[in-house]
Chain A
Amino acid sequence: MEFDALLLSRIQFAFVIAFHIMFPAFTIGLAAFLAVCEGLWLKTGNEVFKRLYLHWVKIFALAFAMGVVSGVVMSYQFGTNWSLFSEITGSVIGPLLGYEVLTAFFLEATFLGVMLFGWNKVGRKLHFVATCAVAVGTTISAFWILSANSWMQTPDGFAIDPETGNFYATDWIKVIFNPSFPTRLVHMLLAAYITTAAVVMAAGAWQVINGRVTTPTRWQMRMAAGTLALLMPIQILAGHESGIVAHEYQPAKIAAAEGWCESAPVQGTMLLAWPADNECGHAGITIPGTSPYLFANAPKGEDLKGLDAFAPEDTPPLWLVFYSFRIMVAAGLVMLGIGVWGCFLWWRGGLDKKGLFHWLAVPSGALGFVAVITGWIVAEVGRQPYTVYGALRTVDSVSPVSTAQVATSLLVFMVTYAIIFTAGTVYMARIATRGFDDDPMGKPTRERRAPGSPLGAVDDPAETGEDIVAAD
């Protein structure tokens, strides 16, 4: 394998987008959680939801900032490293990204200011509107990005200009609502809510372990457990639907994800695999005969395509897709377990009593991110060797830039992201773990926030008392 500009550009794109996706995944879910909390506060007048809001909005501000700065990188990355892709597909994908900026980016970025700094400036209802605007903005953003990416997976509604070789749209509805888009959008949005719920649960569990149980802690754990238990089963179905669509349009991706070696009318489910000295290069433990149930919609009497049905230059890298898929599924199942167990404990009144559950829930807070990243690896690496499946190869997409330039930029992004990721995680974890001061008249001690910093001027004694950086 030669480390040329193409391979380095692929590594760089994978790195910057994997870094970026964690923050939208988290902020889409967190914005929805915040909107729910503020809405519940306005409706019920229960202060606990206000305190949850003012607590989590600080973490949101940090995550959102990291999402914005890593997102700006994405809008330039296509041109700097994938200029041929940009030129060839620009007339089709460009408008989708353009619509994202117009309908989502400005909405989120502008109302974020009101959300963070407008607490004392606008009425409660208007502030709630701002929170909802941000939450809706993040969701619209996902809509367009998933549309653009799904078009790269299952391109539709386009033609190729015979003169220039560039793509152009023939039917915008088919471009936007391409075959894999609906299921993938649902799958991603659910992933965002689940990721956030796992984090919220982990932060609550940490507070229980450290004996800082307060009313907001209890509520955040209940809400997270309920969300996980409710959404994970739906997510499994959504993921399954997504797999069925991929099987129809991208059989090579599914063959790699399932580890199917040879085409056969009935395929099994491979649990584990390892390299082997046989024709397909791997062997594994398989539960035989599962495909009639899992791929019930597949046309009868036809073989389910294995890797042998494709030329080697048309198949994605096996191991990365195969194991990413399994890690994603395993992470999802663990989160389902956390959700169900959490609800059971809630029912039995043990959710705020320290136990094994809490020790497991804390590390599980990272599993949403693990599932999101491995899931995207299945989607993106599984699409290889194409950028636009079946229409444009990755090798024909890259920019005419030198290996040295790409190596430099990759290094710069790695160092930059390592610094801001470390700092951002530490700052978010500090806020998330320190918990809530349960004394509503708590004195604002050691107030070290700057005037005008996010919520620095919150006029609520319960909140200002809590609003202290704990670890000095």
Chain B
Amino acid sequence: MEKEEVKKIKDWMNTEEYKEKNFNRKAIVINPARACQPLGAVLCAAGFENTMPFVHGSHGCVAYYRNNLSRHFREPLAAVCTSLTEDGAVFGGQANAFEGFKNALTLYKPKMLAISTTCMTEVIGDDLGSIVGGAREKGYLPEDILAPYANTPSFAGSHLEGYDSMLNAIIETLCKKSDANENKSDTINIIPGFDTTTGNINEIKRILKIFGASYLVLADYSNTLDYPLNGEYKLYPKGATKLEDVKKCMNNRATIVLQRFSAKKTAATLSKKFNHEVRIVKSPIGINYTDEFLMAVSELSGKEIPGEIEDERGRAIDSMTDAQQYIHGKKFAIFGDPDMLVGLTSYLLEMGGIPKYVLCSNGTEEFKKEIEDLFASYSEGEGEVYINKDLWHLRSLIMTGPVDMLMGPSHGKFAARDAKIPHIRIGYPIFDRVNIHRYPLYGYSGVINLTTWIVNKFMDILDDESDDAHFELMR
């Protein structure tokens, strides 16, 4: 194509007219920030002791989940499947499942198989209950092997619902209603939700340790997906949630859910089926939500907020006020999973920043209202929130109404490049930067991390773009 013709079309793609056309589409999704349910189920399963994620479907699916998660964590990710082919589509997948159980148990010796489905097995209507029951009866699945199963169709929800369904299945399978009693322990359960920032889980545990509070993280892959390199490959690294602990979790003091939108089913099971207290908090990103989280911990543990943590708070506030001039009035476009976006919006508003576009490919009306309420509480008239939109929509937004920075997973880099704005990697997945997921966004440490990344990025740009006269020592 002629260069001029190319430029003409590219320019047209940056117009209001194109944006309108783009927002009118109904049937095609272009560059979504959303994965499918089974991926979330596999991630959740990776947080439990000696557990093998077991996906009922073709091996292409499980290869994709393993690739995707390994690219983000830069860690091995074990998962098996039933390797269904055409005959599975015709006759159902039971025979493969039976054989799969047998082989997986022989090779990998798990204590638990965490079984999820794919769109194929959902469409052909395989019934996991009868497959697991049949396998028990016929000896393919001995009684001492736990086998929670969750329906995780890829054509409903997203990775968030898949995570939730698997966690729910594990709790429903391992916890007996008859074992639930009113004699609560002091332990607080923490459900992080679909959170691929292992630094977040570690930060929460660090805070609870400072409190001196006993805790149980439900789906703790902060060690299994970040385990030490010491010359030995471990199929089941230590540090995952212990199955014996899960069995008693409903008798713990209460559960704090750190992600409203990826633990709905699980939260409902705990509170309704087991009459267990569930506290759903905002993801503790920024000062306010961290404060709220700490108050919930304090109340549930009956312990005062430790002075050490108050000091940390003071330091975080210090870091913010030192740097606020570089964020105040700056406009941001942010995208990713809903709970992270709520926290990030709150943090940016605390800093005087303007979260101009908050875009969520897997958001609900409830999420939208949370963001709108946040805007309203800061009398911030400029923010716009979009649900079930994709990154091609986001591109139209930032090309027609510019912002200063994009924040979200790696896939945003194309839009950021077109808009010539910096892109801070945050959320899932991050494929093109190292170690980011090890740094918490949560807690007061997270406030310092976010402030550091954002402000220093702006300063790098200032240095890169300054002429000789304005290339100054101090910033």
Q: Do A and B bind each other?
A: no
Chain B positions near chain A (C-beta within 8 angstroms):
none
Chain A positions near chain B (C-beta within 8 angstroms):
none
